[in-house]
Chains A and B, each alone.
Chain A
Amino acid sequence: MSDCLSVNFDGHSVRICCDRPYIYGLLREHLAGSLSEDMPNALSEFQIIGSTTGFFSVLEQGSRVAGPLPLEALLQFLMQEILTRLNAACDKGPLFHAASIADNEGGILLCGKSGSGKSTLAAFLLQNGYAYLSDEVTQYLPLSHQISGFRRSLVLKPGSSFLLAKHAPAGILRFSEGGAWVNARILTPAGLREHAIPRLVLFPRYCPDSSLVITPLSPPKALFHLLQTLVNARNLPQAGLPAVKQLAQQVPAFALTYSNLNEVLKWLKLS
């Protein structure tokens, strides 16, 4: 008997069905911010099948798409595949490869590829009072001039584990290689947010031993850099260019090079 989850973003959904309560529980906890009642016309339905050897396969419409995988690899595969499917369908506004947080002044995008340090920076800022929208993808809705994020647990890479030192284990799923999924609620008293009006676009880059360098970006420059984090251009009118231009013209943008998270926090509080 399988339990199923419906993971939702931008009006599209992916369904996951699993007959292992432990796995179902983990997925439920770490995708909690994006779950919804079962939506019709799910983009995909994945079925997780376990074997007696402790490995799992993932089926889609009866065909195996992954596995046999050990448990940790299964979870990581699912988290990535769910997001990729939802990204591919996202069509109501430009979708950026960006984390996003918010304070009382508005939403802040942290744009950058994997390895740029945006998730670590986002986690640190959450610990220091910011509300959470997403750690990975943020959508801009041009009609309402708001941002919205895919709300899952933060997926932290091995190098970010120092951030979790003072937290109790509840809400944290640690992987053997050192990475972790962290329920955002345990990081921030400010909680999760569904939308925010953007007030800053940041392109942070962690650089060991560097002092904080903040470079304002002109609107054309901001547009150029934002487009390089745009993951759904093909779904949008004119490749999303007019909508991204609107964001670049209306919201100040900065490139940040940093090594000290506290310096970034101090600057943000003043900006």
Chain B
Amino acid sequence: MNSFANVHPRPAEGFYIEVVNGEAVLVHPERNLVLQFNPSANLLWHLCDGQRSVGEIVSILSAVYPETASEIARDVPQMIESFLSQGIFISA
């Protein structure tokens, strides 16, 4: 895995989150932003706490869902990169 695997992402300040039936809904009043996550995105959000690297997050989820490890290895960095570029995540 490349150096992106060592990035430690965490949410930017200002988000409020509620989880309903496994799906998260977030609001950021200063940015006028509302987000809804499906359960996979919700798991990702909670794992990205600034303490874990992208690589570690991939490992954790791959251990929970070993049959889809290759999808996880693709999906997780993609989503984190997208969130970083939008300022939803920052690199700790």
Contacts and interface: CB of A to CB of B under 8 A. Distances in A.
B21 interface: yes
Interface stretch (A16-24, A74-82, A234-242): A234-242
A241 B18 contact: yes
A227 B34 contact: yes
B36 A238 contact: no
Q: Categorize the interface residue count of chain A.
A: 10 to 19
Interface in A195-246: 218-221, 223-224, 227-228, 233-234, 238-242, 245
B16 A241 contact: yes
A239 B16 contact: yes
13 contacts: A219-B21, A220-B24, A220-B36, A221-B36, A223-B36, A224-B36, A227-B34, A228-B34, A241-B18, A241-B27, A242-B18, A245-B20, A245-B25
Contacts, number: 41
A111 interface: no
Nearest to A219: B20
Contacts of B36: 220-221, 223-224
Contacts of A224: 25, 34, 36
Nearest to B14: A239
Given A238-B16, A241-B16, A227 B25 contact: yes
B29 A220 contact: no
Contacts of A221: 36
**Would you call the interface of chain A mostly helix, strand, loop, or mixed?**
helix
Given A220-B36, A227-B34, A239 B27 contact: yes
A6 B17 CA distance: 38
A219 B23 CA distance: 9
B21 A220 contact: yes
- Main secondary structure, interface of B, reads strand
Contacts of B34: 224, 227-228
B33 to A, nearest CB: 10
A234 B16 CA distance: 12
Nearest to A233: B29
Contacts of A223: 18, 20, 25, 36
Contacts of B23: 218, 220
Interface string B41-56: 0000000000000000
Contact of A227 (B21, B24, B27): B27
Contacts of B20: 219-220, 223, 245, 248-249
Contacts of B29: 233-234, 239
A241 B19 CA distance: 10
Shortest Cβ-Cβ A-B pairs, 8 listed: A220-B23, A224-B36, A220-B20, A227-B34, A245-B18, A238-B16, A239-B29, A239-B27
